[in-house]
Amino acid sequence: MSERTTTTTPALRVRDLAVELGGRRALDGVDLTVDAGELVGLIGPNGAGKTTLLRAVLGLLTPLGGTIDIEGQPVARSRGTVGYVPQRHEFAWDFPLSVEKAVLTGRTHRIGRLRRPGATDREAVEEALDRVALTDLRRRPIGELSGGQRQRVLVARALALRPRLLLLDEPFTGLDVPTQELLTSLFLRLRDEGKALLMTTHDLPGAADMAGRLCLLNRTVIADGPPEALRDPAVWLRAFGVARSEQLLTSLGVAR
């Protein structure tokens, strides 16, 4: 196991972030840090602002207020350095690309649109394909892939950038058990190598088992801490905007 990277500067620091979408405050007063060597689960109901937060970190949305720093630098200076795994429906799977070329698109910011990939780019793609066990399928058209294989392409595409911060948007949704296990092992290895990972998920028990910290979000941060510290049912009910949900509390093991 690799030693974790130590640094006094968080891989990601979000301070008092506010984002407005369609005239509605989607995020308000959000504070969050993710350190190198840390995997943080971002938890909340649909519409809580989880994907909005990831898009703001990527510089795809202009905040109404607050700041976002990536390794001490503003987002504008960090574009092309953050790995992002979107939800599968956000990728054009009918586009005529091989697996290898789809993964190479993850390095577009580094290569530039008018330049040809060099040896470093090819090495990064080969390394990423190997990490998600897709080397044997590198020539296959992406339109012929299964759901699990497509998810592995998206992860490899993010890893091809060789990022120190990785954003994962619902990476386990709709996957079979072997693919879930492969990706879980990979994300934990990346954490142990000193990468910083921020992962949205609806798999609450899985997140509690996997993440060192959970951030409960519902437009603002409701609670933030290690899973064992978030045992108060009221915190979870507030985060999910419900008065009572036995199913939710039972799944978390905090029912009373």
Residue 205: inside a domain:
yes
Q: Do 76 and 168 sit in the same domain of this protein?
A: yes
Q: Do 68 and 115 sit in the same domain of this protein?
A: no
Q: What is the spatial distance between Cα 202 and Cα 187, in angstroms, rounded to a whole number?
A: 17
Residue 87: inside a domain:
no
Q: Please give the share of the chain, as a percent, with pLDDT higher than 70.
A: 90
Instruction: Judge whether residue 8 has pLDDT over 80.
Output: no
Residue 154: inside a domain:
yes
Strand, helix or coil for residue 241? coil
What does the DSSP 8-state code read for residue 172?
T
Amino acid in position 81 = T
| Residue 122, domain extent | 93-162
Q: Do 114 and 56 sit in the same domain of this protein?
A: no
pLDDT on residue 181: 95
Residue 88: inside a domain:
no
Instruction: Judge whether residue 177 has pLDDT over 70.
Output: yes
Q: What is the spatial distance between Cα 169 and Cα 150, in angstroms, rounded to a whole number?
A: 14
Q: Do 55 and 151 sit in the same domain of this protein?
A: no
For residue 196 the two structure tokens come to 């910083």
Q: What is the spatial distance between Cα 151 and Cα 109, in angstroms, rounded to a whole number?
A: 21
Query: Of 4, 32, 54, which Cα lies nearest the Cα of 188?
Result: 4
Residue with token string 């470093």: 120
Residue 236 near residue 229, CB atoms below 8 Å: no
Beta bridge partners of 213: 40
pLDDT on residue 215: 97
Q: Do 151 and 196 sit in the same domain of this protein?
A: no
Residue 219 near residue 27, CB atoms below 8 Å: yes
Residue 86: inside a domain:
no
Instruction: Judge whether residue 114 has pLDDT over 70.
Output: no
pLDDT in tens, 51-104: 999 999 999 999 999 999 999 999 988 877 899 999 988 889 999 999 999 999
Q: Do 117 and 184 sit in the same domain of this protein?
A: no
**Tally of domains in the chain:** 2
